[in-house]
Structure 1
Amino acid sequence: MDTSYSQIEKLKSKKLITQLFEKGKTVTIYPLKLVYLETQFEDNALLKTGVNVSKRNFKKAVDRNRIKRLMREAYRLNKAHYFSNTSKHYAFMILYIDKEMPNLKFLDSKMKLLFKKFKEKVV
């Protein structure tokens, strides 16, 4: 698995996002929350991932977009290590639930813990 975050890996289907929040399970490592659902994709992608930051906690779109960029980068850096040997297909939504502005180093360490906890819960 490469370390890119290509167009095929982005979670964009409203139907799938709705299904994810209705039937999905969660794993939380504060300030990140992972909602996941085992599913099958038409384009045979292994993972589809979306990120979200609450407008309630960050009023300015600039701040929300910055956090989402950092979360996508942390995901991109860690996905190859944690999901290279999986054969199941998952849809992920990663939520940032804190009120403080993070940096990449902090999000990277939390993302590693989140994926580790996810692997323990699934296996």
Structure 2
Amino acid sequence: MKQGKFTFGKSEKLCSRKFIDKLFDSGEAFMAFPLRVQYLFDVLPEEVEAQAMFSASKRRFKRAVKRNLLKRRMREAYRLNKEPLLAVLKEKNIQTGVAFLFVSKEELDYHAIEKAMKKAIQKLINEVETR
């Protein structure tokens, strides 16, 4: 990835069904309200430091428009704040898959989601550094 580019390309999206199943079966999780973060340090199918996926519950948000809005906000917050995490992963030569699940009952604005995303990324960095 080029330095200073805030992108979120295809190779950074967690799509592998096998890896997603493994992530939810044997990965670890923590809360950074309104986000639940599920992560697994393992070899990824792509040559990137981290792959991420974003989800909002259909049970809590019946309308697809709302779910998509929340996922867009989470993706944008991740895209703009992931650099420190990727730098630490590259330095330690570790790959990770991460799922960001939106767990709040009400729709939150971008700033609340970004604040939680920054907290979540910091916790992930701490996890990487304690390995």
TM-score (norm 2): 0.88
- Shift of the 105–47 alpha-carbon distance from structure 1 to 2, 3 Å rule, reads same
**Within 2, Cα distance between the matches of 1:25 and 1:79?**
19
After TM superposition, the structure 1 = structure 2 runs for residues 5-84 of structure 1, keeping only pairs within 5 Å, are 5-84=8-87
Deviation at 1:39, TM superposition (A): 1.1
Deviation at 1:27, TM superposition (A): 1.6
- Which consecutive residues of structure 2, in runs of 5 or more, have no partner in the other structure? none
Deviation at 1:82, TM superposition (A): 2.9
The amino acid of 1:66's aligned partner reads L
Other structure's SS at 1:48 match: strand
Other structure's SS at 1:88 match: coil
Deviation at 1:118, TM superposition (A): 2.2
Deviation at 1:29, TM superposition (A): 1.0
CA RMSD of the aligned region, Å?
Answer: 1.2
- Which consecutive residues of structure 1, in runs of 5 or more, have no partner in the other structure? none
The corresponding residue for 1:117 is 123
Where in structure 1 do 4 or more consecutive aligned residues deviate above 3 Å?
Answer: none
The amino acid of 1:81's aligned partner reads P
The amino acid of 1:105's aligned partner reads H
The percentage of counterpart residues that share the same residue type is: 33
